[in-house]
Amino acid sequence: MKRTLSILGIIFGVIVLDLFTKGYLLFLITGSWFPVGNAWELVPNPYLMAYVTNFFNIVFTWNFGTAFSMFNALGEYLPIILIFATGGIIGGILYYLFCRCANYERVPLALIAGGAIGNLIDRIRFGAVVDFLDFHIGGWHYPAFNFADICIVCGVGLYLISWIYARRRCMKNVK
Q: Are strands 140-141 and 47-51 parallel, antiparallel or unpaired?
A: unpaired
* Catalytic-role residue among 18, 122, 131, 134: 131
* Catalytic-role residue among 18, 122, 134, 149: 149
Quick one: which of 58, 76, 20 has its CA closest to 145? 58
Name the residue type at position 62: W
Neighbouring CB atoms inside 10 A of 90's CB total 18
Instruction: Tell me, yes or no, if 122 is annotated catalytic.
Output: no
Cα–Cα distance measured from residue 111 to residue 155, given in angstroms and rounded to the nearest whole number: 5
Instruction: Tell me, yes or no, if 149 is annotated catalytic.
Output: yes
Terminal-to-terminal C-alpha distance of the chain: 35
Quick one: which of 50, 60, 56, 52 has its CA closest to 30? 60
Cα–Cα distance measured from residue 155 to residue 90, given in angstroms and rounded to the nearest whole number: 14
Active centre residues (catalytic) = 131, 149
